[in-house]
Amino acid sequence: MLHILTLTYKAENRIGDLYNSLTKSKIDCNFIWHIKDNKSVDSTKEIIKSWNDSRVNLFECPHNNDSFAYGMNVLFKRSEAKDEDYILLLNDDVIFNDPSDIQKMINCFSNKSVGAVGCKLLYKNTDKIQHAGVIFDNIKKLPLHFGANCTDNNFFSQTREFQAVTGAVLLTKAEYYKNIKNKNKSGHLGMDEDFQWAFEDVSACLSIKYDLNKKIICLGNVNIFHEESATLKKNPLNWLNMKQNVANFYSKWGNRCKCDREDYEKLLNGKMR
């Protein structure tokens, strides 16, 4: 079983495109799409209800105060996923252009050493890279998107191992998700709720890699659009937490993750010559 977890807010102009691309996807297992709507004041909820799709579970939250980590953990708990089930974290501003992409992600888990799979993402309706893995700066020691704003080419179509990938499209197993290391005061299993709309996905990947000893993979041979932070643009107050998020990241991972930006950029520059 595949459980898809999505947070949404004022998504009337994009949720239908995501739904259409999901329903066209060719997946070898059944899926349930769990959507947490954070009190959208547009027609988002009505659009979701109009699908009348038994595979879609809509949870209407009466406010928009929850963080990404908290919201995903709530959906994970509501999913009642079994250890062997797949968990797909999915932003509401994503479009799968190739119906085989989700199955390609699932197929990566035939390698038992894999703990999480992300994807190369392109800015919507362009050939420009938004994400091709997460790398860590050698000076600030903070995460960055590898290949950001580069033109897509064969180099980025390769599958590579990273320390982390973005949570916009992130597949793992329920067994790994619930064992992500955290000290959540809520008691929720999963992502670290100390992070507020930044670094929670990276921290989750680092925990899967270093605490669970699993590989983090970024799949390159896919065709996926991502608008990037569409929900955050609707609620810019979330950016006010960045200073604390940075402090949390340094405290939790500053001495554990590898600063690898130069390594990946040397690899990229060598291929671009």
pLDDT at position 271 is 64
pLDDT at 193 over 50: yes
Residue 240 has what pLDDT? 72
The pLDDT tens digits of the residues spanning 201-252 come to 999 999 999 999 999 999 999 999 998 764 444 445 555 789 999 999 999 9
d(CA 113, CA 212): 10
Tell me, rounded to whole angstroms, the distance of Cα 133 from its chain centroid: 11
Between β-strands 169-173 and 86-90, what pairing exists: parallel, antiparallel or unpaired?
antiparallel
Category of 23 on φ-ψ map: left (φ > 0), alpha (ψ -120 to 50) or beta: alpha
CA distance 213 to 82: 21
Contact by Cβ (8 Å): 147, 271: no
Cβ–Cβ under 8 Å, residues 231 and 181: no
Tell me if 48 sits within 8 A of 123, measured CB to CB. Answer: no
Q: Which residues of 127-136 are buried (b: 16+ CB within 10 A; e: fewer)?
A: eebbbbbbbb
Distance CA 264, CA 59 (A): 40
| Cα separation values, 116 from 19, 121, 137, Å | 23, 16, 22
Closest C-alpha among 19, 157, 25 to residue 101: 25
pLDDT tens for each residue of 27-69: 999 999 999 999 999 999 999 999 999 999 999 999 988 999 9
| pLDDT: which is higher, 229 or 110 | 110
Structure tokens at 59: 């949870």
- On average, the pLDDT of the chain sits at 94
pLDDT of residue 102: 98
Q: What pLDDT does 241 receive?
A: 84
Percent of the chain with pLDDT over 70: 95
**Span 91-119, average pLDDT:** 98
Tens digit of each residue's pLDDT (9 = 90 or more) over 244-273: 999 999 999 999 999 999 999 999 887 654
Spatial contact of 169 and 210, defined as CB atoms under 8 Å apart:
no
Place of tokens 């909820």: 45
Say how far apart CA 218 and CA 265 lie, in whole Å. 16
Instruction: Please name the helix (run of DSSP H) or strand (run of DSSP E) that holds residue 183, with its range, or none.
Output: none
